[in-house]
Amino acid sequence: MDLYKDKDSIAAGRRHTVGLKSDGTVTAVGWNEHGQCDVSGWRSLQLPGN
C-alpha cells in the first residue's frame, strides 16, 4: 500500500494509524472522531533515543 511506503516507524491504535518518515513528516489515517488523526499542528517532535 503506497500510504505506508517510505515510513520509518508506524504506530497503530484501535481505529487509527500514525506513520513517521525519515524526514520527520508525520501522517495519520483512521476514524478521527476525536481529532487523533489531525497532525497538521504537530511541531518539533521528540523521538525516544534522540
pLDDT (0 to 100) of residue 47: 62
pLDDT (0 to 100) of residue 14: 87
pLDDT (0 to 100) of residue 1: 56
Tens-place pLDDT, residues 1-46: 566 678 888 888 888 888 888 888 888 888 878 777 787 787 776 6
Give the whole-angstrom CA distance, residue 50 versus residue 40. 22
pTM for the predicted model, two decimal places: 0.59
pLDDT (0 to 100) of residue 2: 66
pLDDT (0 to 100) of residue 40: 79
Q: Which residues of 13-47 are buried (b: 16+ CB within 10 A; e: fewer)?
A: eeebbbbbeeeeeeebeeeeeeeebeeeeeeeeee
